[in-house]
Every structure is written in C-alpha cells, then in structure tokens.
Amino acid sequence: MEQQKSRDETIVLKVKNLTKKYGERVAVNNLNFDIKKGEIFGFLGANGAGKSTTMKMLSGIANPTSGEIFICGKSLTKNFEKAIINLGGMVETPQFYPYLTGFQNLKYFASLYSNISKQKIMDIVALVGLSVRINEKVKNYSLGMKQRLGIAQALLHNPKILILDEPTNGLDANGIREIKSFLKKIARQRGTAIMISSHILAIMEDVCDRVCIIDKGRIVETKTISEIKRRYTSNGTHYIKTNAPNYAGMILEKQFAIKCKISGDKVLLTTNEKDLARIIIKLTSFKIPIFGAGEINYSLEDIYLNVVGVDNEIK
C-alpha cells in the first residue's frame, strides 16, 4: 500500500481512457499512460497518429471527448487552474506577439503568474541561450530562436511537467545537441518530467527514458528504450554484409554451427568482436565477398518501422 502511495505521489501526469473525436473520425482512442517525476517520456508516431492532438488536450488547448487527465493528482476538467499551473508546454510552432521583443513576450506571460521576477526571466533566457537577442522584436526571430523562446515561456513558472511537441523542429545540428543535453539536465537536476513528441528517432533514442509508440490514435506499446532494444537484439548482435547472404548463412550454419538470420543483404548473428574477425577470415576463404561487417546498431527507426510497419499511408 505504501509503495503504491509513494509511487502515486511521483506520478506527475496520469492519462486515463483519453479519447478525442472530430465528428465521426477518432483521432485519439482510449489512451492510458503515466509519467513519473523526472522522467523523460517520448511520444513516437507518424504524422497524423494523434501526438499533437493528445498534447493539445494535455495543455488545455483542445477539449477531450472523453477520458480524464490528472496533473499532479489534480483533474484538468474539474480543477483546471490548479492542475494546469504544474504544466508548461510548447505545442506546434510556438507563436508570440510579433510587435513585442522576446523579453516583453516573456514578461507578459510571467505577469500571468504570481512572483516571477525579472531576474528569473533572465535566468531562463540564459538557460535557453537567447541572452544576446532577447531584446529584439520577435518578428525578426528565426524559427530556431522562436523554439528556444517557446521553451523559455514553458519554463517560466517552474512546472513539474514539460510538454514539448517537436521541440527540435527548426534547430540545426548544434541546436539539437544543445536541446538534448538541456532536456536531460532539467530532468535530472530539477526533477522536471518531460514529455516530448517527435518523429526524429535519433533524438528520442538519446534522451528518452521511456517511449510510447502511437499509431492511428492508439498506443501500440509503451516500453523503456532498453526494453525495446533487448527484444530486438534477439535477432543478433553483429552483421556481415555480402552479396551472397544466403550462401554465407548456409556455410556458417553447416560448417560453423552458428545460428544466423538473413535480412536483406546482411547476415545477422550473435557473437562477439573477436569471433567475428575469425568468421570473416573463414568466409573469405570460401571466396564469399564481404562488403561490410560490424555491430548492429539498432536504431529506433528500425524498431519503429518494425513495430508500426513500413506501409504507412497518410490519413
């Protein structure tokens, strides 16, 4: 019982049977998930899967058709103000008042809460890396700068959970790197839970503790990254790329009793680096051309495509 209770206290966001219908079309279908304190939770899905819609419902932008949302234990429908104050968000492209400077925009949002000092605003500006250009009018900002400002406005009031919809949109490689370390930092240091959605899997892989895959409005699965990876590594740890994979595989199995799988032009097998070198020499002695070999890097992309299916039409 106590364990349950303390677990509940660390649950920052709880979504129960969340559904959103637009007329006949069901955009979000019976979602259930929890996010814990300090956790970075990834929301993974194709365009139109329902990620943004879900996030809009969480941030109070859209009304759920049915279901419940609890932020820090407070119901969003019954206790909106007390619930939403724990949440900061950036859903779709962040929009600001173009005739105001970045700072004036932040000051306006800060004034909607109590006691957010100018110093605090400047601290957050420094945190997102906008100190140099914060006093320029937003209409002159690039998309990347607006993204940073978007994150800044979400952090002003020290929310317990941050909802970020495609936060790396418009950022260059440097920016993406910064964002990743930034997110990890605030999750670990401040204990802020973060929910991010993206279709750029490289980022999710690097940053998320757990990932929820959503397709056609439904959750397909929710697992930690390591859990997902573990499942697929049963396919093999290393690969050998050749133009005669079937022949190579047959040789390996018959001659060396090594179990392997064939995937396209790759032979997949479970082994280690040392043994791999010996296998390559052996295969070469059979005059099998080898174009590449190494450790299989299971990207979330492979997993995702595997799970969701390559055949994915736009709806």
Partner 1 sequence: MKSTKLAKSELVKLFMRPAIYFLTGFLVVALILVSIIYNPTPRENNQVDFGTINQTVSDVFSVFNDSSSTDKDAKINIDKNLNEAYNRLNTFNTASDLRETIITKIEKIQTFMTQSSGSGFYNLLITLANNPNDENARKNFINALSVLREDALSIFTFLDTEINSENIDFYITQNQLIEIKDFFYKLATIIAREAYLQTYQSDELINLGNRISEDYDVSLVIEKLTSYKKIELNQDSVNQIINKYYNKIVYTGKLVSSTYDNQSGINTTNDEKNENNENQNESQEDITVLDEIYTQAVLFVSKNADSKESKDIDDLNLILTQYKNASIISTNLINASFAIEKAKGYSDKEINNYIGFSGFNSGTYKEQIQLNEYLLNNKIFDGKYLNNFNINSTIGTEVSAYDFAFFAMQILSFVITIFAIFFTVSSIAGEQAGGTMKMLAMRPYTKTKIITGKLLSCICFSLMFVVIASITSFVVGFSLFGLGSEGNIVVVFNSSFAFELPAILVFIIYLIMLMFNIIFYIMVSALLSVILRSTAFATFITFIIYLAGIIINAVWANTTWYVFLPFAHLDLFKYFGGASSSPQLFGINTILDGNFLVSLIVIIGLILIMDVATKVIFKKRDIS
Interacting residues toward partner 1 by CB under 8 A: 56, 59-63, 80-82, 84-85, 87-89, 91-97, 99-100, 104, 108-109, 111-114, 153-154
Cβ atoms of 231 and 43 closer than 8 Å: no
CA pair distance 275, 196, nearest whole angstrom:
40
| Distance of closest approach, residue 65 Cβ to partner 1, in angstroms | 11
- 87 Cα distance to chain centroid: 17
CB of 182 to partner 1, least distance (A): 20
Q: How far is the CB of 163 from partner 1 (least distance, A)?
A: 9
What sign does the dihedral 292-293-299-301 (CA atoms) show?
positive
Query: Across-strand partners of 15?
Result: 33, 69
Q: What strand order describes the sheet that includes 66-71?
A: 25-36, 11-22, 66-71, 74-75
Nearest approach in angstroms of CB 172 to partner 1 is: 23
Closer CB to partner 1, 6 or 115, in the complex: 115
Q: Which is nearer to partner 1, 52 or 168 (CB)?
A: 52
150 versus 175: smaller Cβ distance to partner 1: 150
Give 302's contacts (C-beta < 8 A, 6+ positions apart).
Answer: 232
Closer of 61 and 281 to partner 1 (Cβ): 61
Closer CB to partner 1, 149 or 283, in the complex: 149
**Pairing verdict, β 87-90 and 218-224:** unpaired
Please, what is the minimum distance in Å from the beta carbon of residue 41 to partner 1? 18
